[in-house]
Structures are given as structure tokens and as C-alpha cells.
Structure 1
């Protein structure tokens, strides 16, 4: 029954598979004749599996599938997780060797079969990139000796070697405390603060290198604006659940737009602008949104 399960009814009403049962409720399991387990069940953030025994059963099922199918299934799962965490240029071969795999395809197969926990792979990739981030962009843009460091006007950014200079947060990448940041000296807006992986900064390293300047987070303000993109299967109460979750986590919503004109039937794209104090809170919110029923993808833009 578990492998062919496709849904459930509680007291005659269809509920998501993540529904928490209460004593005395009448349960009916909905199955499909040719149904098979979904790989989403293995994602801890989705909340489908509660016991180690059920997780082991699903792992066993996928281990018996063809390796080629696991590779095909594992690649988009890993790509989606790296994109969700905002990780770029990950050395997949080195990541594979971290888990004692000789080939990248073996890593994909391990993820596709459920042998590897997705969040652990994502954390390993982030740890691998951490020293690169710390030694790449900041060192490249450090073209003068540091004389002193002063807090710039407006948002708690420390600009090295420059005193009393206006700074603004870039609207393209909207960095928040916890992000690696770089300053770009503009002609009219003072120092514009970007994330170090922003496309504008990557282009400037080749075209306008002399305009880049080293900056750090100083005494930060209370909240920063971040763009979030959500893709979901449309259902009644979807927007209510999203806004309720944000409100319960004391996250302010500045803007919310929906677009249901998609090629895929019943899919909807939701664009949010929210206020968060930093990357830690942002990560919590993205994970919580991803656990809501019918949510397909949540990522920072």
C-alpha cells in the first residue's frame, strides 16, 4: 500500500500526505494501480516520512531501480537544490569525491536513489565554496592599502579606505547581512552594494575593475528587502497559507504578484518582496515555504 499510495482521506475529506492525524479520525488511503514512490518523499523538508523504517523502505525501492534512471532523476534534484541555495560554479567532481564517488554520474545516482541526503550535499557544496568566496572577489578588488575604515551613510556598510561616503543597496541582487558583498562606485549614487556573485559585479571585474571597492557589513539596519520566487500547483487557500506563514514568522510582505498564465496546467508563479534581517532568517523562511502543500519550487531571486 505504501508504494502505491497517492493520497489520503480523513473523515471523508482529501488531505495532503503530510497531514498530522488526530485520535479518532477515520482514514482512507488512496492508491494507484501502477503507482510508485515519489522521490520527493525522501526530502526531509517536505515532511512526508516520519520514521526511519519508512525511509529505509523507500531507499530500498529506489536502490533497485536502474542506475541510468537514478542519474536522470538525481541531476535535476541536485541542480534545483544548488539553485535554491544560490550556489554557483560548484566543482561537482570534487563534491563527488567528497562522498567517495569517482564520477559525477555516481553522485547523481546516489541522490536519485536516495542514498544521500539532499540538504547534506547542499551543505557540503556550500562549505567547499566558502574558502573560494573568501579569497576570490575581495582580494581582486583590494587595489589600494587600507588607510582606515568608516561607516558609510545610510545602511551600516563599512567602506574600507573611504570616509563619509553615501552607499545604497543594489536593487538587482538585494544583499542582506550574511551575504558576501562588494561595493561599486557609481557616478550618482555613491557606493552601490552588490552580492559578490551578482552578474553586474562579475562583468565589472573585467570591464570596470577600478570602480570596485572592498566593503563589509557594519552595524546593520533592522530589515532588508529580498525578492523570492515561488512556483506551485494552484489550489484554494494557497496565498492565504503563504501569507499566514510569513506573518507567523514576523516577516513583512512589501509586494506580492501572481501569474497563472503558464504552459503547464494548474501551475502558478508567485513573486514576493519580503523584509528579513539576514540570511539565517531568509533560509528559515525558504525552507518553511517549501514545506507547504502543492509548493514545487522556492528560491531567492
Structure 2
């Protein structure tokens, strides 16, 4: 017999915040709840407080639904197999909450001593939908409010996590409603004696200070209106943690802080700033030593504002900041953003853009923006801010920030140059991987090193994919630069001969390549190949083009026209967009389609058309939110490719042919024909393939990968 609907679920569905959930989904929740008694991750009170905080932030229906579903882990599996298809956005928010638990585990693993900045960046990198962040903040606030019921060790662990991760994120995102309470509660449980001491020093309770600020705001608005000045007045009493931080930073007692109560005045123009200053000083007595004109003399980070302190109502000190709306935007989101110097975080343009877009999304909810505007802003975020960094973990759980596309070898060089030079293998998440493996955010990387060692020349060949970071490549290049010229020439000759042997050009005259690259001798060419300044496949391509031109029909050779130039590499703009002309077109970094694959376009704001594969998860989310922005796109007019014969000599074994053809397909080449011949002893097989490739760079890469297959002795152009 089925158990009745759980009372926690009924309580959640009865909340005002839950009313924004679509009716069909709400009915599904109720039906799933009727199937069995449901265990909750949190108590009903915490779940209720979470939804109330989300309602305060103006969360949308998907966000509230995801918060409910996460609170009842048994629910998602009971909503039917079509749930993720029907509610893709809710599913993404659920995935984000589960992914965030990895960050909480990392923090706990190090006893709260893991780098908070790195973990915050990792958190924002591994969640697909940043609307997860308000859910996480709301739930953490609800848990902190109930933390006094927990054992001491659990309470301190929760407070440490709040201090290191949640409170700084709320601060950066400008969620002041949650930020001050998260900070104060964490401070209260981590430093109880100091918290109580400062609370006693304050001559008023917080409620009294809030009423005082409301009185000041009304008075100031009236005074500004009498002078005909359009001004926006906001204010807040400083909370206990912020007071303590400022006492520590300035090294002063609480009696010398003049901004325990503060208001901010925003005006339309520069002249209005000084007019408002006059109104403030005419209303209350200024404190002469506490005036700063950061408009005439901006701070080094370009922060601009007028700061003054006055004796306000009841003779209590009051700080007043005056600035224009533009100055305020710069202070909150630009290089002058206060959290940057208070937290001491380093510069990261991509991370700062992500924070700024998240704040815009939150502001659009808070201002009552229409659903279409929210979806547009969310879509812009997904399109414009594709993650260009990866955040990976050391074996000790420290977070390292690497370039997108980074490999274990990049990781090794980031740790230390010598670790990179001696790197001979790597494990990712406990599994051995090749050194050209692409890392993803959240991966835990362990480097295996030799006691002594040196870098390999082929690490510098871009087509091999060993190094994505210019910094790593420079470290390898510097190592080889220290060698004498003779050794570099010898190494470069070996690399180039290996490539030319694959292409069937071993012993070819290098003069055409020297002339095209403006090099004086073969020795200079070898040195550039050895140092990675020139790829062996680039030289091979030049020689093949020269060979092709030389073998053209005699009638073509007798003309005075110059030989046809090599076909230019395909560019990201080589597309045809149906019904649209003169429009910027770019390949999306999230899925990176290559010529020949099915593609589709999405019209972004200000960045033209972004080209995706139809199966790309980012594109599917964007298309679901804004289907009118989807455009048909085709690859532009291109040649039919180059026909080339390739020969592979290998030990005869099971699955050899399958592995060869799979590798060719993965390399986006096409097989025209295959012939196989066994040698007399039957131990080896010779495969002759006719392939169609886009260019000679693709051919070179393909031959290198074929040579690396188990049992393959040779792979070259026949």
C-alpha cells in the first residue's frame, strides 16, 4: 500500500514561491510524492527558508522547481523518462547543484584550508547554468540560520564553507540581501567571542540602526527635492563582520569608524554630485577631516565618488557617498569594483565578465524584467561567455587555472618547469592518459616524472597537440635554445626527414621551402623545425604544392602565369547564411564544428552568427529559449579535397582494419578504396588506401596517428 503524500512535499508546494512552477510540473511533483514517503536532504524548515530566499531574489519557475527537486532526491527518477527532454533547463540546474557538491567535498577534504578563490572559480566553471548560484546561496543561508542546532564541529565546518565560498560569491554578485547575513552568521560561529564583543560595542540593535537609516533617507530625499535635484538615495547600517574587517584593515577602534551608518546618493551628472554635496552639508554638520574628493582625484583603480561624514540626526556619525549612475556602474562592475581590492583577487578578464553578466541577469529579475528579456540575457551569456579557462586539481586538491584545451603536459609546466621537462606520463582522475589528453574543469591530475629527463622535440609540433599554453611552449623552446646549433640542426633534420618519409618526399630538394620561408640555408630551416617555430608538416605542404605545380600539363607550364597558389585554409567566415548577407559569422568554441559536419547558426547580440553542431548542448539550450534566433547555415563553397594514396605496413592482428578506418573517420578524412596484401610469411599486412583529405596539414596529422597505432611499423604517402 502506498504511503500518503509526504507532509514536507505538501508544505513546499503550498508555499507562495512554488506558485511560479508550471502547473504540469507541479502536478507531477504531487503525483510522485504520493508514491512513497520521501526523504529530504534538509529539514522542511530549511527547504521552506530556501524557497523564501529565492522568492526574495525574484527567482524564475525553473530555478524554484530545481530547488524543490534537489531537496527531494527521490523525485527526479519518478517524473518519467521524458523529464529531461521536457524540462532541459531544470535538469541543467539539478546537474549544477550536484556538481557543486564536488566543491563542498574539496573544501571539507582540506579542513577548510583549500584556496577559496580557486574553489569559487571552479564552482562557476563546472555549472552549466549560473542560475544555480542563487539556489546555492539561498540554501546555505537557510542552513546557517539553523546551524545553532548542529554539533560544534559541524557548525564550524558549515560556517567555514560559507565564509570561503558563499559569502564572497554573494558579495561579487551584489546580492546584498544575502551577503551581509551570510558573513555575519559565519563570523558568529567561527569567532564567537569577537562577534559578541563588537555587538556589545554597538550602541543600537540592528533593527534600530535600520530604522535610523530609513529616517535619514527620507530626510535626504526631501532636502534634494526642495533643491530640484533628481537623486536616488540608498543606505544600510554596516553589519558586524564588515565592522570587524574595517577595524582590522585600518587598525583603529570602533569609535574611529565613521561609516557604521552610511547612505549613497546617485545623481545624473557631474554637476549634480557637487550640488548634492552642498545639500548634505547644509542639512547636517560635516566632519572636516572626513571629506575625500575621488572625482577630482580618482583612486588608482579609477574609482570616482565624493565621500563625506556628517553628524546626522541625534548627533550620530553618518557617511554619505555621492556619485553619478555611471560612476556607480564602474564601481560595482568595472575595474574599480570594491570586492577586487577587498579580497585581493588577481585579474581574470573572462571571470570578471562572467560575474558582470551574472549580476545583470539578477538585476533583470529584480527589476521585474519580462520572461523574454531574461531568456535573451541568459542566451547571450551562454553564447558570448564560453569558458576559455579550465580549473583542474592537483593531487592535494589545490585548484590550478589553465588555458582552455590544456593538457597534462601544460599542467606539469604550470606546476614547475622541471616537472614539465621530466614529465613522462599522467593520470587524470586516477586513470592513465596520454600527454595530449584535453583536461576539463574538475579533473584531478597527477604527473609521473623521471628522476632525470628533458623535453621532447615533438612537444613543440603544434599538430601533435601536446601543448596548448604559449607559456609552456616557450619553456620547452628555451630549453632547446640553450643547445648548440649543431645539435639543433641534427634534431631538426631528423624531424623533417620523418615527415618527408611519410609523404614520400624523402631526399626532395628543400629550395622551394627555403625560398617561400625566406631562409638562407637548409641549416636555418632545420633549426626552425627543431625549435618549433616551423612545423614539419608546413615544409611538407610547401614541397607537395611545388610538386603538384611542376607535374601540371605542359600547356599550363608554358604560360606566363605564375603557378596556382596553395588553397588557403578554411576560415571561420567561410559560410553561407540563408537570407542574410554581410554578417559576421564565427565558429562556436563550445562544439567547434569542422568543414563537412552538419551545422546550424544562432544569431547573437553584437557578435553576429555563432555556428554550432546541431547536437551541441549549448545550442540546444539557446534554441529552446529563443527559437527565432536560429538560422540555417551551410559551409561555403569549397574544393572537393585532395586525393592521396597512403600505405600502411603493420603486424596482422584482429581489429587492425577497424582501428585504421575509425581513426581516419575521426580525422574527418574519407576513404575511397582499400586493398590489403599479406607478406609471404603472413605475419604482416600491407594496406593501400586512397583517401580524400582537406589539406596537407590534415594528411600529416593523420599519418602521425596511423603510425602510433599498435603494431603499425610504417604509415606513409605512396
Q: If the TM-score is normalised by the length of the shorter chain, which range does it land in? A: 0.5 to 0.7
| Residues 1:27 and 2:442 are matched in the alignment | no
Give matches, 1:185-196, under 5 Å: none
Q: Select the structure with the greater relative contact order (CA < 8 A; seq sep ≥ 6).
A: 1
Q: CA, structure 1 residues 66+20, in 2 after alignment: closer, same or farther (shift >3 Å)?
A: same
| Residues 1:68 and 2:486 are matched in the alignment | yes
Which structure has the bigger radius of gyration? 2
Q: Which has the higher strand share?
A: 1
Give matches, 1:180-259, under 5 Å: 228-230=646-648, 241-247=659-665, 249=668, 251=671, 254-255=674-675
Shift of 1:271: 3.0
What is the aligned counterpart of 2:543 among 125, 134, 141? Answer: 125
SS in 2 for 1:14: strand
The residue number in structure 1 matching 2:509 is 91
Q: CA, structure 1 residues 237+63, in 2 after alignment: closer, same or farther (shift >3 Å)?
A: farther
CA contact (8 A) 1:45 1:287 kept: yes
CA distance in 1, matches of 2:490, 2:469: 27
CA distance in 2, matches of 1:133, 1:102: 26
What is the aligned counterpart of 1:272 among 676, 687, 703? Answer: 687
1:165-221: CA deviations, max 9, x gaps?
Answer: xxxxxxxxxxxxxxxxxxxxxxxxxxxxxxxxxxxxxxxxxxxxxxxxxxxxxxxxx
Structure 1: give runs of 5+ residues left out of the alignment: 141-221, 262-267
Q: CA, structure 1 residues 116+253, in 2 after alignment: closer, same or farther (shift >3 Å)?
A: same
The residue number in structure 2 matching 1:300 is 717
The residue number in structure 1 matching 2:470 is 52
| Residues 1:107 and 2:500 are matched in the alignment | no
The residue number in structure 2 matching 1:287 is 701
Shift of 1:292: 6.2
Shift of 1:83: 3.0
Shift of 1:68: 1.0
1:135-169: CA deviations, max 9, x gaps?
Answer: 669979xxxxxxxxxxxxxxxxxxxxxxxxxxxxx
CA distance in 2, matches of 1:239, 1:7: 28
Shift of 1:15: 1.3
CA distance in 1, matches of 2:524, 2:450: 31
Q: CA, structure 1 residues 134+274, in 2 after alignment: closer, same or farther (shift >3 Å)?
A: closer
Q: Which has the higher helix share?
A: 2
Shift of 1:39: 0.9
Shift of 1:282: 8.8
SS in 1 for 2:490: helix
CA contact (8 A) 2:510 2:522 kept: yes
CA distance in 1, matches of 2:482, 2:673: 45
Q: CA, structure 1 residues 113+284, in 2 after alignment: closer, same or farther (shift >3 Å)?
A: closer
CA distance in 1, matches of 2:545, 2:643: 26
Shift of 1:28: 1.0
1:116-150: CA deviations, max 9, x gaps?
Answer: 2223222332344444323669979xxxxxxxxxx
CA distance in 1, matches of 2:465, 2:557: 42
CA distance in 2, matches of 1:93, 1:252: 33
CA distance in 2, matches of 1:234, 1:33: 37
1:61-87: CA deviations, max 9, x gaps?
Answer: 212211111111111221222233334
Shift of 1:32: 1.2
Shift of 1:109: 2.1
Shift of 1:7: 0.9
Q: CA, structure 1 residues 23+74, in 2 after alignment: closer, same or farther (shift >3 Å)?
A: same
Shift of 1:41: 1.0
What is the aligned counterpart of 1:4 among 419, 422, 444? Answer: 422
CA contact (8 A) 1:256 1:270 kept: yes
Structure 2: give runs of 5+ residues left out of the alignment: 1-418, 559-639
CA contact (8 A) 1:90 1:129 kept: no
CA contact (8 A) 1:286 1:298 kept: no
1:214-248: CA deviations, max 9, x gaps?
Answer: xxxxxxxx9x9975334689999876543322355
CA contact (8 A) 2:663 2:706 kept: no
